[in-house]
Amino acid sequence: MKLSTSEYFIREVLISLKRNNWMSFASIGTVAVSLFVLGVFLTLVLNMNRMASQLESQVQISVYLTDDLKNSRKDTIEEDIRALQGIESVKYVDKEEAIERLRERLGDQKYLLDALGEKNPLPDSFEVTVTQPALVQTAAEAIEKMTGVEEAKYGQDVVEHLFDITRLMRIFGLILMVLLAGATIFIISNTIRLTVFARRKEIAIMKYVGATDWFIRWPFLLEGVVLGGIGGIVAALVLRSFYAAMAAKIYSTLTFFPLMPQYPFMNYVGVAILISGMIIGAIGSTISLKRFLEV
Amino acid sequence: MIHMRDVCKVYDTGVTALDHVNIDITRGDFVFVVGASGAGKSTFIKLLFREELPTSGVLEVNGHDVVNMEPSDVPYLRRGLGVIFQDYRLLPEKTVFENVAFAMQVIEAPRRLIQRSVNAVLDIVGLRDKYKSFPGQLSGGEQQRVAIARAIVNDPAIVIADEPTGNLDPETSWDIMDIFHRINVAGTTIVMATHDKTIVDTMQRRVIAIEDGHIVRDEAKGGYGYET
Ligand SMILES: Nc1ncnc2c1ncn2[C@@H]1O[C@H](COP(=O)(O)OP(=O)(O)OP(=O)(O)O)[C@@H](O)[C@H]1O
Ligand SMILES: [Mg+2]
């Protein structure tokens, strides 16, 4: 593209942003709001995903053994567990260690255990972790069938709940994304339609003197991309400060919370929002050109 | 240059605007297309720059097969043509210079060439000193001269005009015809639809008369032929 031509396109876009300033402002605003909401969902879903997989990777199977097993039997069980698919680690916890841990966990209330006297009601156990979260259930079931194993338990419910919520959020976010993108495309295509209308004389003359269709289309396409892009930038900046404020608040109260660190995470989200804005803008103007330009 | 064989044009409304028209126009011709209102003159003109497509027949303009050409080639057909209308169709927010330069910008002509060519055609139409004016500040005749400058700035092989003097008084009309004459002498083919009996009778050029979509007369040096 010739320099004078790109200059021409840029000038045309600026003129028409100015001419339609109210509509341009409205489109940028709609794009910004929509993309901001999308961005909120994106960050939420990504954070929850991260939380879920962190919890998942912490999921362990507690294997409680029947009382008074011989050490050799325990060794066989341990070997059998290790032989299962996808086992990461197996750790033996004897009943003394178990009660010690319980004592610690009870803290101030450890006097409750005094009532037991010298008796220790807790069983010996193995703590088993698996390489992939999906393997937890099958491993637990297999272990439970082994002789000498009383019970194999894991925190199935919590994780599954969390995953259910993320899945729901993802679906909800997707629906919302489609709706908002639709609304945004509609607004942008209407703005571009105004521009096309304002310039119908110019367009007619351009056709008479032999401008190519693409030469005629470019400024409009560019206008849509600029509108979407500016909206995207606004949304990204607002979301960024929003996230920073939220993160500060969360960290000050729940230090252990596994939040995505601001950098570089928010940069990626920002770029994604910007690109979505530009794509939405391009789609909006394309629709409008198809319907109203007839070139 | 222009070749029409059995060209018919039937509009969607069912009106037959042109009925089996056969015409050949050669390079350097100066052609008046005359006829009563509704005869089909504008339709004839519109077919030439592919504003309308023939319903049937063969139409070649400046080496392009207008009927079968790719839509993407239409701009290149039009670059060889200069089109002028009764209502000038200038852009009111652009100056005289910008209106003419616009025709070159949008076909991506180099900037230095634009400057040079626009000044040259403004000389031809006698508006060099009004290059900064806006169309609203010009008389009808001057506006039409700007439109002519725009039509010829890309050096077309054919200038096509639909009643270019339709809104002008007789004296101003002659200024326009004088410009057309000079363009024609320089080698450009001119096809002009008109109602103006005096002009046609005085110029003594080729006359194609249309009546109800039929060519009823085609004379090398003709007059208007009707009493109006
Ligand atoms: N776009 C159109 N759709 C339908 N019918 C049309 C269209 N344009 C022209 N016509 C009809 O075709 C016929 C020829 O019209 P055309 O405009 O070619 O006449 P004309 O000779 O230019 O008339 P005038 O001298 O009034 O300009 C008329 O009956 C007109 O009503
Ligand atoms: Mg007409």
pTM: 0.74
Contact B144, B168 (CB under 8 A): yes
CA distance linking residue A20 with residue A195, whole number of Å: 7
Q: Is B213 in the pocket of ligand 1 (CB under 6 A)?
A: no
Q: Which residues of B touch A205 (CB under 8 A)?
A: 89, 91, 102-103, 150
Q: Which residues of B touch A5 (CB under 8 A)?
A: 105, 108
How many Cα neighbours within 13 Å face the side chain of B202? 10
Is A201 close to B83, i.e. CB distance below 8 A? no
Contact B217, B187 (CB under 8 A): no
Is B91 close to A208, i.e. CB distance below 8 A? no
pLDDT tens-place string over residues B97-149: 999 999 999 899 998 999 999 999 999 999 999 999 999 999 999 999 999 99
Q: A291 CA to middle of ligand 1, Å?
A: 26
Q: What is the torsion angle, in degrees rounded to the nearest 10, for the CA atoms of residue B31, residue B32, residue B35 and residue B37? A: 120
The secondary structure of residue A108, as a DSSP letter, is G
Average pLDDT over residues A53-76: 81
Supply the pLDDT for residue B15.
94
Q: Is the pLDDT of residue A295 over 60?
A: no
CA distance linking residue B164 with residue A276, whole number of Å: 50
Phi, psi of B33, rounded to the nearest 5 degrees: -110, 115
Supply the pLDDT for residue B34.
95
Q: Where are the domains of chain B?
A: 1-80+156-228, 90-153
CA distance linking residue B75 with residue A212, whole number of Å: 6
Supply the pLDDT for residue A188.
84
CA distance linking residue A126 with residue A118, whole number of Å: 23
Q: Which of residues 43-62 of B touch A (CB under 8 A)?
A: 49
pLDDT tens-place string over residues A78-128: 898 888 888 888 889 888 888 888 887 776 777 777 777 777 888 889 888
Class level of CATH domain A60-153: alpha beta
The secondary structure of residue A67, as a DSSP letter, is T
Q: B42 CA to middle of ligand 2, Å?
A: 4
Supply the pLDDT for residue A2.
67
- What confidence tier does B173 reach under pLDDT thresholds 50, 70, 90? very high
Domain B1-80+156-228: CATH superfamily, name plus number: P-loop containing nucleotide triphosphate hydrolases (3.40.50.300)
- Whether A214 and chain B come into contact, CB under 8 Å, resolves to no
Average pLDDT over residues A40-44: 85
Q: Is the pLDDT of residue A57 over 70?
A: no
Q: Is B63 in the pocket of ligand 1 (CB under 6 A)?
A: no
CA distance linking residue A178 with residue A173, whole number of Å: 9
- Whether A10 and chain B come into contact, CB under 8 Å, resolves to no
Q: Is the pLDDT of residue B227 over 60?
A: no
